[in-house]
Structure 1
């Protein structure tokens, strides 16, 4: 076959893929290409050689085999939240049409790779069941879970990846495999935390929890309360039982539709809170934070678990963003004071949000079936996101790096897979211990002999 980079050969080669798939293949310039190739972070300019909107799992098989025959890298996207590479010359497999979602009242679900947590939450609501989604239910189950999945009830129930029963995945050798802890234990280990480095997941089957209601929401405080609330939160966290999961957000929300008037255009601080026990106990545990200042908004209440996305109210629309994250060993009073000094109201910080998430509880326990998810012993996570016109984003990123430097005394020295997309290969590597990274690399060499998934950022072999 003529080299794929030659215009005539390129068209002929892709025509052969078109004839073997039920889905639609888009090349640059085709209507639909730009929409499917663009990630959630629109500041990342992608230029894949083509995008296959897969309609079946066999389409994914054909795409991987085609890429191997033509020397192309392969990447995957559902909602686009994990894409940070330009994908130059790659074959991008878009999975939004793999939209099957089955919820069994007996306590499990099976979802296609294009299914978001929002769909799962809605399907579970009538059965009083809960899936361990993240703070943003608009992301895909497959992408979130393969990165470990640490969400708003992680201290109570651990990581989403620990609830997986099986995957269907297309590996780099072009095989569609049904993977369980018994059938292929090594691959099952790596897919739970290894992100997209070992293959393209087409379906995920996972256990659900009987949790129809939660006591949850957020307290919002004004600019004058930022230092006091942050300090109080740092002292309150160590007192909490595992039924409570919380995070603190220092925010500068723009005046735009959907932003409550008391918060719009102001520097505020939010205490996010989910309690999985009864509401009276949840209110009792939250009382010290309600007394830490005069809330502008108190939105903590009993709610259906299906509404858990309201706790963080993360934006769903695509935007140009700069993201940074790290893990912390502690968030003491000194750490709280340092953070406010770095990004507080008087600093001129360009960050839209700087968030500290408390970990521990069930998350810190090793699961019954081991996985590639590392750093369970980190006490907190620090995450920042800034939104600006693309020419201004490098300055936002430099500022975020300065914030992390200011927090060096409490740095854990690592990150998590779902928060490391913007860090490139170095960020991916920091998500794992050396032993786990070496094992992932070995699995990639075995299941992906042609390094088709090299954009998954496992070290080059």
Structure 2
């Protein structure tokens, strides 16, 4: 430990250290790493030192990003690198790009880009870590319009298992560049990325909230409406269990409600009004739609920032119909809090196309992403697992068989990684892993093992 600490600017902590628990704890508190050492990286050289130390001793390395970043497994040994101290953004307004350090959150990038009239392809929760989100694909508020965040990465700085800091891009180690964009932290620790920014300052956005009794009508109308909208329209629909709080309107308090979330890049608010008219005609109890500065777009989903114990599951689905709606509603107890969130995010648009510089993000033919989230009162995941499995089974006729890496954070996530890729792409990923991490040092994650000779 002392040998490593001599080469690291940030803290190096063992289980007996007072700051150990705080350093190893991320947003997900139901599943936490318990490593031999935690390295609080401040600079790329700290990451290099930590990886070199671990590799020389045959120890696994895990990376803990900021915000909602959640590990697929909770490691019980090895070295955990935390990146929260590596937080910086540099915007090049003329080039329309940003350089983003490993621990930076999306809200920081949004604020830095806004004065230039630009916006990143950030997530629905602005407190999500930008790098981990992007490496997993990055499905955000404007993805139907512009594609995945991973589609707009120009270059990456990454420390590989040999301790080298590499600068990779389309013309520099293109295989590794392809794998990192969609393969997350399987191939190294990314210390910074250069990304495209979009010429977006405002969206037509907000939420429509309906009583749960209207769920069948709202879901059915939403699905028919979603099949007609242009790529400029980004939306999702969710059943959400609301708290019993005076801040919630009385008819919705302590019960489920139906939320339709909108982020539209049509420019003219009147055009947005015309597009959402079929949904508004259903008579929402709450209507927050209007012109919205992109800096405030986190209010659309209004997701909690505080650490939480949750269990989640996901699936990718094809085209949905009224039978699919009935399959969802028949499996949900409308006054129960499990699952807390049952969400469908519309895909398609630019998401269906590979970018000019291809990457490893798979399953681009899916039409919807299903996201299930349940809060846990304690350590018992049984009720949540049972509810999730029942709903996933009910929707099996509409499933593509694939999953999306960023939302793959349930108890079975480690065994589901292959479903994020085509068979050919997974083979290519295991081959690249064999070149850059043959000992599978980076394995406490959504693991892609190296090809075995």
Q: Select which of 289, 298, 301 maps to 2:279.
A: 289
**Equivalent residue runs for 1:265-280 within 5 Å:** 265-277=254-266, 278-280=268-270
- Displacement, 1:255? 2.9
Q: Given that residues 75 and 93 in structure 1 are in contact (C-alpha distance below 8 angstroms), is that contact kept between their aligned partners in structure 2?
A: yes
Q: Answer yes or no: is the 8 Å Cα contact 1:425–1:459 preserved in 2.
A: no
Pair 1:60 & 2:56 matched: no
Q: Aligned partners of 1:324 and 1:145: how far apart in 2?
A: 19
**For 2:269 and 2:297, how far apart are their aligned partners in 1?**
15
Which of 324, 329, 332 is the aligned partner of 1:340?
329
* C-alpha deviation, 1:74, in angstroms: 0.2
- Structure 1 distance, partners of 2:413, 2:376, is 21
Residue by residue, what CA displacement relative to the aligned partner does 1:394-432 show, whole Å, maximum 9, x if unpaired?
221121011000011101101011011323322222111
Q: Secondary structure of 1:75's partner?
A: strand
Match of 1:222 among 211, 220, 224: 211
Write out per-residue CA displacement over residues 318-339 of structure 1, whole angstroms, 9 at most, x where no aligned residue.
Answer: 1110100000011112111221
**CA deviation vs aligned residue, 1:437-459 (integer Å, no higher than 9, x gap):** 11111111111132110223113
Q: Which residue of 1 aligns with 2:18?
A: 31
Task: Quote the offset at 1:309 in angstroms.
Answer: 1.1
Q: Is the 8 A contact 2:311 2:409 kept in 1?
A: no
**Matches for 1:84-99 after TM superposition, within 5 Å:** 84-99=72-87
For residue 140 of structure 2, what is the aligned residue in structure 1? 151
Q: Is the 8 A contact 2:74 2:444 kept in 1?
A: no
* Alignment partners' CA distance in 1, 2:356 and 2:25: 38
In 1, distance between residues paired with 2:116 and 2:147?
22
Aligned-residue CA RMSD in angstroms?
A: 1.5
Which ranges in structure 2 are unaligned for 5 or more consecutive residues?
none
The partner residue of 1:404 within 387, 392, 395 is 392
Structure 1 segment 104-183 matched on structure 2, within 5 A? 104-106=92-94, 107-183=96-172
CA shift, 1:264, in A, is 3.6
Native 8 Å contact 1:235 1:333 kept in 2: no
Q: Is the 8 A contact 1:124 1:306 kept in 2?
A: no
SS at match of 2:331: helix
Tell me the TM-score normalized by structure 2.
0.95
In the alignment, is the contact (CA less than 8 A) between 2:313 and 2:409 conserved in 1? no
Q: Deviations over 1:315-372 (max 9, x none)?
A: 11111101000000111121112211112526x4611100001100111112111100
Decide whether aligned partners of structure 1 residues 258 and 154 sit closer, same or farther in structure 2, where only a CA change above 3 A counts.
farther
Q: 1:329 aligns with which of 312, 318, 329?
A: 318
Aligned to 1:368: 356
Deviations 1:169-196 (A, max 9, x none): 0011111000111011101101110011
**Do the aligned residues in 2 keep the contact of 1:193 with 1:371 (CA within 8 Å)?**
yes
Helix, strand or coil at the partner of 2:2:
helix
| SS of 1:209 mapped into structure 2 | coil
With the length of structure 1 as denominator, give the TM-score of the two structures: 0.94
Q: Which residue of 2 aligns with 1:450?
A: 439
Match of 1:311 among 295, 300, 306: 300
The DSSP-based 3-state class of the residue aligned with 1:194 is helix
Deviation at 1:31, TM superposition (A): 2.0
Match of 2:38 in 1: 51
1:30 Cα deviation after fit? 1.0
Distance in 2 separating the partners of 1:261 and 1:126: 40
1:75 aligned residue:
62
Equivalent position of 1:207 in the other structure? 196
Rounded to whole Å, the distance in 2 between the matches of 1:81 and 1:255 is 28
Q: Which runs of 5+ in 1 are unaligned?
A: 1-13
For residues 97 and 275 of structure 1, the distance between their equivalents in structure 2, rounded to whole angstroms, comes to 34
**8 A contact 1:226–1:344 mirrored in 2:** no
Which whole-Å CA distance do the structure 1 matches of 2:197 and 2:203 have between them? 15
- Counterparts of 2:427 and 2:328 in 1: how far apart (Å)? 34
- 1:263 is displaced (CA, Å) by 4.0
How many residues in Structure 1 have an aligned counterpart in Structure 2?
A: 446
Q: Superposed, which structure 2 residues align to 1:185-196 within 5 Å?
A: 185-196=174-185
Contact 1:48 1:86 (C-alpha < 8 Å) held by counterparts? no
Q: Displacement, 1:223?
A: 2.1
Q: Offset at 1:235? A: 1.1
Task: Give the 3-state SS of the residue equivalent to 1:114 in structure 2.
Answer: coil
Offset, 1:90: 1.9
